[in-house]
Amino acid sequence: MNVTEFFSAQLEREIGGTRRALERVPQGRPDWKPHEKSMTLGYLSNLVATMPGWIAMAIERNELDLNPPGGGGYKPPATDTTSKLVQAFDDSVARARAALRSTTEAHLATPWRLLVAGRTVAENARHVVIADTFTHLAHHRGQLTVYLRLNGVPVPSLYGPTADEKVF
């Protein structure tokens, strides 16, 4: 198994649980957050939904500037309904799958940079960026399940049963 096959398999393993969590995000509460320092439910759920697209970005682009000089930059899709949120996730997964199918091991060894206002804040091989994306997704999906719990929404099974779903 090569690296692209490994990442493709990892993506497939993460899709089901992530989708189940996103399908349960309550509508009409995009500004809800558990603490003043926390991100809002709308921002967090959009982040989780679009994060698989980071894999495509790491493969197809050489860098991302979070605050490019002169303005502009990445604009997340509108996800103000559950169906739009899940569609954003499905689109993100489709982009990741296509990018993984089209890349090579040699390309994944080349550098990718994260910038803020034109300044490099991180630079790693693309395969490291992709591996970190999966860890980052698990982290924020975990946050999302806490938000679901605090909103009285049953928490889906991810890597095993939850108090709400005994059968995995």
How far apart CA 19 and CA 161 sit, in angstroms, is 16
Query: Does the pLDDT of residue 43 top 80, yes or no?
Result: yes
The tokens for 136 are 């980052």
The tokens for 161 are 């049963």
Per-residue pLDDT of 29-39, as tens digits, reads: 999 999 999 99
Count of CA atoms in the C-beta half-sphere (13 A) of 153: 19
CB 34 within 8 A of CB 73: no
The torsion angles phi and psi of 153, rounded to 5 degrees, stand at -100, 130
pTM of the shown model: 0.94
Per-residue pLDDT of 106-163, as tens digits, reads: 999 999 999 999 999 999 999 999 999 999 999 999 999 999 999 999 999 999 999 9
Residue 109 CA: distances (Å) to CA of 97, 105, 106, 125, 149: 18, 7, 5, 5, 40
User: What would you report as the CA-atom Rg of the chain, rounded to the nearest whole angstrom?
Assistant: 17
Residue type, 93: V
Residue given tokens 């569609």 in the structure block:
87
The confidence score (pLDDT) of residue 168 equals 57
How far apart CA 83 and CA 20 sit, in angstroms, is 12
Superfamily grouping for domain 3-150: dinb family like domain (1.20.120.450)
Per-residue pLDDT of 64-117, as tens digits, reads: 999 998 888 777 788 889 999 999 999 999 999 999 999 999 999 999 999 999
Cβ neighbors of 6 (< 8 A, separation 6 or more) are none
Mean pLDDT value of segment 4-17? 97
